Structure 1
Amino acid sequence: MADKPSEEKVKASTIHTLQAWGENPLPPTLLATLITAQHMRPFQALPMMFTPVLLAASYANVSGYKIDAAGITGAWSGLYLLLASRRKQRLVQKFGARGIVRGATLGLCVANVVGCGVTYGFGRRRKEEESR
């Protein structure tokens, strides 16, 4: 019996974990906070356009539109990842406070693209509409 997977292990599979990540309203809010921390001072207009969209996606998630919010979050996180990865950093700059925040932001973008992509791809709208 030790070789059979238990019910808890089945529930905590990778797909379910990624779907739980995509259905959570906290990651887009955290990403918006990190983007604001990086680009508010000195103010950079293009990256700061991502913040209101991510906050609106978080609001849509709380309002019950989890699948749509996951699609918005995944798409805009991917766009920010492309925008931010164009800029290169020297090795010395990667270990300062700004470099650590930038690394955390890019890591969160990757997690959002994967988790929200799985949620959007495997989401069932019928189940979402019945829960409202």
Structure 2
Amino acid sequence: MSSTDKEAQDAKKTAISYATDWGKSPLPPTILATLITALHARPFQPLPMLSPPVLLFSTYLNLSNYAVDSAGITAAWSGLYLLLASRRRGYVGKTFTARLGSRFGARGLTRGSAMVLAGANVVGGGITYAFGQRSKESEK
């Protein structure tokens, strides 16, 4: 196989196939569960902490050869977390440096990366769940 054939195969990979690969991977829900735990375990916040066990169960399902169903669970719970995390209170009464520090500090960057990862999980898991085929899973 020549290098031009390899480049042609790489060029054929579309955005939907990248999203499907993302949705079938067990790593994104595990990383999101870790980030959520880091943000909401101390001080303990019970509502956001409902997500990590479900995301870890989704990883277990993915590793048990139920990738399409796992992608659906991951997309749904990542979407719920994204909605919950986007309801943050405003910055009324804070100085500019306090606003900047809360946005670009360690906690702000962790929160931002958790929200970006949750959004990617919604897209990737949703596409995988919508277009995934369970024929491979039902044969086992």
Q: Judge same fold: TM > 0.5, yes or no.
A: yes
Taking structure 2 as the reference length, the TM-score comes to: 0.86
Q: CA deviation at 1:125?
A: 1.1
Please report the RMSD computed on the Cα atoms of aligned residues, expressed in angstroms: 1.5
Could you tell me which residue of structure 2 aligns to residue 100 of structure 1? 109
Q: CA deviation at 1:89?
A: 5.4
The structure whose Rg is larger is 2
Could you tell me which residue of structure 2 aligns to residue 120 of structure 1? 129
Q: CA deviation at 1:129?
A: 2.2
Q: CA deviation at 1:9?
A: 1.3
- Alignment of 1:53 onto 2:54: yes
Taking structure 1 as the reference length, the TM-score comes to: 0.91
Point out where structure 2 has 5 or more consecutive residues left out of the alignment: 92-98
Deviation per residue, 1:35-93 (Å, 9 max, x gap): 00000111111111111000000000000000000000000000000001001354321
Could you tell me which residue of structure 2 aligns to residue 38 of structure 1? 39
Could you tell me which residue of structure 2 aligns to residue 79 of structure 1? 80
State the alpha-carbon separation in 1 of the partners of residues 74 and 57 from structure 2: 9
State the alpha-carbon separation in 2 of the partners of residues 44 and 63 from structure 1: 30
State the alpha-carbon separation in 2 of the partners of residues 102 and 73 from structure 1: 18
Point out where structure 1 has 5 or more consecutive residues left out of the alignment: none
SS in 1 for 2:47: helix
SS in 1 for 2:89: coil
Q: CA deviation at 1:126?
A: 1.2
State the aligned residue count.
Answer: 127
